[in-house]
Amino acid sequence: MLPSPPAKPVPPSDTTAILRTFARDLAAGHPWTPEAAKFFTDVFDELAATWDTGQATGRDEPLRDALTRGGPLPTGPCLEIGSGTGAHTRLLTTAFPAVISLDLSEQMLRQATGRSPARIRADAAALPIADASITAVVAVDMLLFPSEIARVLAPDGVLLWINQLGPDGPLYLPATTVAAALPGHWQATESEAGWGTWAALRAPG
């Protein structure tokens, strides 16, 4: 456990409650609709220009700790889903030989120019990625699409599930919930770092 710095940017409780309920329902199997996709696209397109200075926490302790202590990590391509403005992409390139950044928001991906060399605009509910072709999926403050993650991960693959604000984050899901949502039997390691939490979940082999 790494200590938490002061001045944690806790989001409004009413917004957090709504988004967390949505995230839990989606993980439990509720359908992802075109209306939901459009809503999230519009929200993040609007926030993109000021995301790094206004909304992002600016802390990478959970991801950095996951890359350090969540191993051994497989060698191969990494898929960063919900990559946003590419704030974490450079850190991921220190651990993986190739990083693919994927986001639903075109404007977020435009902000990632210069940070993420391989960017794809796509819906994480229907990943344009071949079966069992990715050795690591990294999701930072992201909605969970369990069947697609399981489909694209190689047999020795790992899912790094990062919550930058831990239980205070609006999309927070604990490792037990993530593991239960994924098809098959998954092993999980979970820890705290800074303001957040991380979990490394291993694909069934």
The answer to pTM > 0.85 is yes
| Most confident by average pLDDT, 6-20, 56-70, 133-147, 185-199 | 133-147
Structure tokens that stand for 40 in this block: 């999230």
Question: Mean pLDDT, to the nearest integer, of 82-88?
Answer: 92
Q: What's phi and psi for 139, nearest 5 deg? A: -130, 115
Taking only the tens place, the pLDDT of each residue in 18-66 is 888 999 999 999 999 999 999 999 999 998 888 777 655 557 889 999 9
Q: Which of the two residues, 128 and 4, has the higher pLDDT score?
A: 128
Taking only the tens place, the pLDDT of each residue in 92-130 is 999 999 999 999 999 999 999 988 889 999 999 999 999
- List, in order of start, the domains of the chain with CATH numbers: 13-202 (3.40.50.150)
